[in-house]
């Protein structure tokens, strides 16, 4: 039995030694530093957005050195920030695809709030799919690890028994405890931030509020609520598309719109700059129109 226990212990030590090559310290707030993950060997670092609060950012490298970092961009909606450093010899390790994750698997949370890596052991207690966060953030996949995330662990990795990264830890999105953003959530956001410097937010130029749909249309549309346009800005994409005060928007580009948060989610990303179909209720009658979504920087 002692031999088996030692093998498990040695295995965990080996996982930490492998993964710590990609764990950095992120000193970008007044309190203790947070952690970050080397996303690519050319100097791209991912971390938690709530840990980046200063204009002056320093990154502590695995070899003990420190370098200045620049903020490439941030997505506050999912608590993710991308930094860039000028440094040779960085190591990026592989992320685990979502389909290979399992509830109950042993995982380690790693952080580098100081010069050396710290670790905490636990299991994956839950695996989540699409999650729309208040304010328009959208997480496609996440995991909830059952372990202690010590101060400074945010932005660091949750790693599996094979040393691959399961997700990026954040304590800012869930009041019930920390979660980790998986590759399917992190990768497209990083790509957008590297390309545009921000997560592009679509702009219609409307003010909206949630309203219940007319009884006669709820069954047909299979939804209880839509969003009432309580204002339409002059010369906005909405006005140009023919939308008027009092319209009730129910779908945009095929996506149901139940609330203002739903509309914010649909307006993000690759729909910006495109003309998309929509369905709305005007005077109790369901109509189909189209509108070109403009761009608004985050």
Residues assigned a catalytic role: 50, 79, 154
Measured in whole angstroms, the distance separating CA 45 from the mean position of its chain's CA atoms is 15
The three-state secondary structure class of 133 is: coil
How many CA atoms within 13 Å lie on the side-chain side of 250?
22
Residue 205 region by backbone torsions, left for phi larger than 0, else alpha for psi between -120 and 50, else beta: left
**Contact of 267 with 293, CB cutoff 8 Å:** yes
- 202: which residues sit within 8 A by CB, 6+ positions away? 266, 267, 268, 269, 271, 272, 293, 294, 295, 296
- 166: which residues sit within 8 A by CB, 6+ positions away? 95, 96, 101, 107, 124, 143, 145, 157, 158, 159, 160, 180, 182
d(Cα 179, Cα 272) in Å, to the nearest integer? 29
DSSP, res 17: H
Burial of 7 (0-12, 13-18, 19+ CB in 10 A): exposed
Buried b (16+ CB within 10 A) or exposed e, 123-161: ebeebeeebbbeebbbbbbbbbbebebeebbbbbbbbbe
């Amino acid at each position: 039995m002692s031999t088996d226990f030692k093998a498990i212990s040695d295995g965990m030590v080996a996982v930490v030694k492998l993964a710590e090559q990609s764990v950095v310290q992120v000193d970008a707030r007044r309190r203790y530093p947070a952690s970050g993950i080397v996303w690519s060997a050319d100097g791209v670092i991912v971390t938690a957005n709530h840990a980046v609060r200063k204009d002056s950012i320093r990154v502590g490298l695995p070899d003990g050195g420190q370098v200045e970092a620049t903020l490439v961009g941030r997505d506050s909606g999912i608590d993710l920030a991308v930094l860039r450093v000028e440094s040779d010899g960085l190591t990026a390790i592989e992320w685990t695809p979502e389909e290979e994750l399992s509830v109950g698997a042993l995982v380690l949370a790693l952080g580098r709030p100081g010069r050396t890596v710290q670790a905490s052991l636990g299991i994956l207690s839950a695996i989540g799919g699409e999650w729309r966060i208040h304010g328009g953030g959208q997480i496609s996949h996440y995991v909830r690890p059952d372990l202690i995330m010590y101060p400074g662990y945010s932005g660091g990795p949750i790693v599996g028994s094979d040393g691959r990264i399961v997700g990026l830890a954040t304590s800012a999105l869930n009041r019930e405890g920390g979660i980790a953003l998986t590759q399917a959530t992190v990768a497209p956001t990083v790509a957008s931030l590297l390309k545009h410097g921000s997560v592009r937010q679509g702009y219609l130029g409307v003010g909206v509020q949630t309203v219940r749909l007319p009884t006669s249309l709820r069954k047909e549309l299979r939804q209880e609520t839509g969003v009432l346009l309580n204002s339409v800005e002059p010369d906005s994409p909405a006005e140009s598309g023919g939308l008027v005060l009092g319209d009730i928007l129910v779908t945009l580009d095929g996506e149901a719109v139940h609330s203002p948060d739903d509309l914010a989610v649909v307006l993000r990303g690759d729909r910006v700059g495109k003309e998309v179909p929509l369905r709305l209720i005007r005077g109790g009658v369901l109509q189909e129109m189209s509108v070109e979504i403009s761009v608004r920087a985050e």
